Amino acid sequence: MPTRYESVESGRLVKLPRLKEEMPTTVPENIKTLMVALGERSYPIYLGTGTLERLPEVLNDLAVRGTIGLVTDSSVGPLYARRVRQLVEDSGRICVTHTLPAGEAYKRLEQVENICGTFLQGRLDRTSLVLALGGGVVGDVAGFAAASFMRGVPCIQIPTTIVAQVDSSVGGKTGVNHPLGKNTIGAFHQPRAVLIDMTLLETLPDRELCAGVAEIIKHGVIADAALFAYLERESDPILAKDLAALEYPIRRSCEIKAEIVAEDEFEQGRRANLNYGHTFGHAIEAVSEYRLFLHGEAVALGMCAAAALAHALGIVPQEFVTRQRHCLQAYGLPTRWLELPVDAALEAMHKDKKVRAGLMKFILPTEIGTVVHRTDVQEDQARRALESLRVE
């Protein structure tokens, strides 16, 4: 049976009980439609092959009148920016492109200022729309620029990495890093649509692919034991970029994210489950100056630390710790960092935006598919969890 976030069948009307506005009527057979149900701000996630070609139709459905601001980066731009620009121009609109330098190190406030400068020079206004074409960094920075420019213009996310497709493009979290903390400057700004074209993964570097799978493994741990088991079983075709093998875990991750966001848009409760591995992972990114690990790799390390903490607290058996580690290792993800500066990481954790009244919140597993929130963790316990990453 279809969920309330998914169309009944490809090529048929999209009907959702919580959606007040009528959404686009039909989709091709090779594309599925999921919904993030947020009342009048609900939006579709189009997922499949050839999804990018629907961009003119989506722009028409949204009645976009103004100039389009396309934001991409120096890695993705040479591959796909020309095609996206052509699709925009074929729809009868002007397209102004801004290219960011690639990499997490450039996810900074100055880049938002640069983007807005390009938009002003290109005469974008409040009738304009921003297209975010790239991975998680592009999506976060472009989304924040969209939230800020003219006090807010709409945005469409076109994620080109697995991390972006299953996580950062859905849910409206946008922002940039500060030297003292990750994603500490930003805004909630939901996209008007998300276009996930599986064929864009064919040019994804192997390391980026594996980093993206870390977020899918996270979704399995927090919400779906069957998804986790699938990832354990199907590592070979997934690593070979078999799009048929990738479709289910990407779709399922989007369903999980959409359901959680619809229930808890501003992270007052259940949405915090999505931070599993991130309290430790963000600290690891910060102390490595966002240069040593990709985001998904840091999350993998964070998941290992969280599992070690859960085991030390008596929440999970050693079997869980070992099983999760083996799954991460099957995708070439790091599970140890022998040079981890523990004191610096602890300091970074205290500056994390998830800290409330001086208390760090940890999302910890109780079994595959279920997690709990804990704010009673002592600093020495968090320290030992980090130190476990330094043991071979």
Which residues, including other chains, have CB under 8 Å from residue 97's CB and lie 6 or more apart?
70, 71, 72, 77, 81, 85, 118
Q: Which of 6, 104, 215, 285 is catalytic?
A: 215
Task: Report the chain's C-alpha Rg in angstroms.
Answer: 20
282: annotated active-site residue:
yes
Q: Which of 98, 295, 311, 325 is catalytic?
A: 295
Q: Which of 275, 285, 297, 325 is catalytic?
A: 275
267: annotated active-site residue:
yes
Q: Which of 189, 218, 282, 311 is catalytic?
A: 282
d(CA 3, CA 29): 18
311: annotated active-site residue:
no
89: annotated active-site residue:
no
| Residue 180: CB atoms within 10 Å | 10
151: annotated active-site residue:
yes
Q: Which residue type occupies 349?
A: M
Q: Which of 6, 267, 285, 297 is catalytic?
A: 267
* Triad 200, 201, 205: Cα angle to 5°: 125
> Maximum distance among all alpha carbons in the chain?
61
Q: Which of 20, 151, 291, 356 is catalytic?
A: 151
Q: Read off the tokens for 109.
A: 């406030």
Long-range residue pairs from 242-247, CB within 8 A, at least 24 positions apart, any chain? 243/49, 243/198, 243/199, 243/201, 243/202, 246/162, 246/198, 246/201, 247/47, 247/48, 247/198
81 phi/psi in degrees, rounded to 5: -65, -40
Q: Which residue type occupies 183?
A: N
218: annotated active-site residue:
no
Q: Which of 173, 182, 218, 219 is catalytic?
A: 173
Q: Which of 278, 285, 297, 311 is catalytic?
A: 278
Q: What is the DSSP string of 201-224?
A: GGG--HHHHHHHHHHHHHHHHHH-
Q: Which of 32, 85, 189, 271 is catalytic?
A: 271
326: annotated active-site residue:
no
12: annotated active-site residue:
no
First to last CA, the chain: 46
Catalytic residues: 151, 173, 215, 257, 267, 271, 275, 278, 282, 295
